[in-house]
Structure 1
């Protein structure tokens, strides 16, 4: 149910179980993890310089596939801690810019996949939130962090207690994700952006990705962040893309970056 294609330096990973709204069981999580491994190997060789994640059908991902889960034998810690969390970390550390095109239901683990992606574009018809109150469970896969960080404690608990869902437009207006788009334009615009980024100075983009992760995960302050920026810039100034960018600017032409 997980498809991977690579074309023009862009990897596209597709959640392809539309009849189940792309919900993920243990097997599907394994396939998704393997797809990211394969894409990362291609990135290491220079064949992939950006990645797009999307879902087929009416939804991006409705979360965990619980159709065959029995509460009396379920091991949520094994599913989340053993499978989901390592996948999310792998996604967040992918060695190239990553993009997600999210439409329809984006819930539970599906929301977590978006948390672990660099840039998320959502359709106006996207549905995001915490439906877990209806299951006697709690929000997982990074949802508490995302909502509290972007929305504050009061709005987070309001969403959790009521199980009310936000539209894609509401989510972007609240600062959860990058941009909202009409559903019929979402995928092509996401692909176009990823293609444009893949033609850019992806080494510099990787440096920015690491700098942002440091601010997010280590809570570094202004001056430490500036110091790390200085170090990153110093490392980049010896690169071919750095030389090309400066030469193109001085010669008044479009740069040709190699990544």
Structure 2
């Protein structure tokens, strides 16, 4: 089950600050640690589309129960009849791209197991906050399978080849605290504080100049996906900055700075 809620703006939001709504999507099948099968993935995709139609200013993705998402739900799956490539290429990858392209800043609040497809969901978000006792890794060798959903790219880029292969071969899981110290994710928090911290941060983002955040996301994605060099990135930044100059939020930000008041952004 996938739940969709809309969090109201924070009580201290200025009355003329348009929007400010945060869409919160909750993976809500705690009995399976929110593992996803094909039907769940289709439902999550539909919920993401419904959320986008409401034009929220930020999105928060989290899981209910003891874990964020333990990966693919393989209960009752007959491997002799399973087309793993089709499942990943036609169901999982489009879902991850849908999150990657969501028309507002995206946040993941990750606790407990975050593996396989679950790791991919987190990776597709702009910002990932994790509980100190969250767990990440690649235990899939125990199934004769391998890491998927972008896990190799993440681990090699940020942990290096040797630590990546160590995790894959041993099946060891690392904690959220260790993952953040290694540069995998944004911030680690006590589990009891994770959801409210993530919600408040998403609310603050929703009050911000979200159009500029999305412009930065596009630049970051270009660096991530194409590995453009320094000066190509500088040139792209120059162009984007020029485009932002003509937006209402840019004018409002400068006006508020000069008037020494809080800006009231319209956002994307």
TM category (shorter chain) comes to over 0.9
Q: Equivalences for 1:122-141 in 2 at 5 Å?
A: 122-141=130-149
Q: Equivalences for 1:1-259 in 2 at 5 Å?
A: 1-8=1-8, 9-43=21-55, 48-259=56-267
How far is the alpha carbon of 1:78 from its aligned partner?
Answer: 1.5
Q: In the aligned structure 2, how far is the partner of 1:13 from the partner of 1:189?
A: 16
How far is the alpha carbon of 1:121 from its aligned partner?
Answer: 0.3
Q: In the aligned structure 1, how far is the partner of 2:39 from the partner of 2:214?
A: 30
Q: In the aligned structure 1, how far is the partner of 2:218 from the partner of 2:79?
A: 39
TM-score of the pair, normalised by structure 1: 0.97
Deviations 1:126-158 (A, max 9, x none): 010001011000100100011001111111011
| 5+ residue gaps, structure 2 | 9-20
| 5+ residue gaps, structure 1 | none
Q: In the aligned structure 2, how far is the partner of 1:196 from the partner of 1:121?
A: 15
TM-score of the pair, normalised by structure 2: 0.94
CA RMSD in angstroms, aligned pairs only: 0.7
Secondary structure at the aligned position of 1:70 is classed as: coil
How far is the alpha carbon of 1:59 from its aligned partner?
Answer: 0.3
How far is the alpha carbon of 1:211 from its aligned partner?
Answer: 0.5
- After TM superposition, the runs of 4+ consecutive aligned structure 1 residues lying more than 4 A away are none
Deviations 1:199-231 (A, max 9, x none): 000000010000100111011111111111111
Q: In the aligned structure 2, how far is the partner of 1:59 from the partner of 1:21?
A: 5
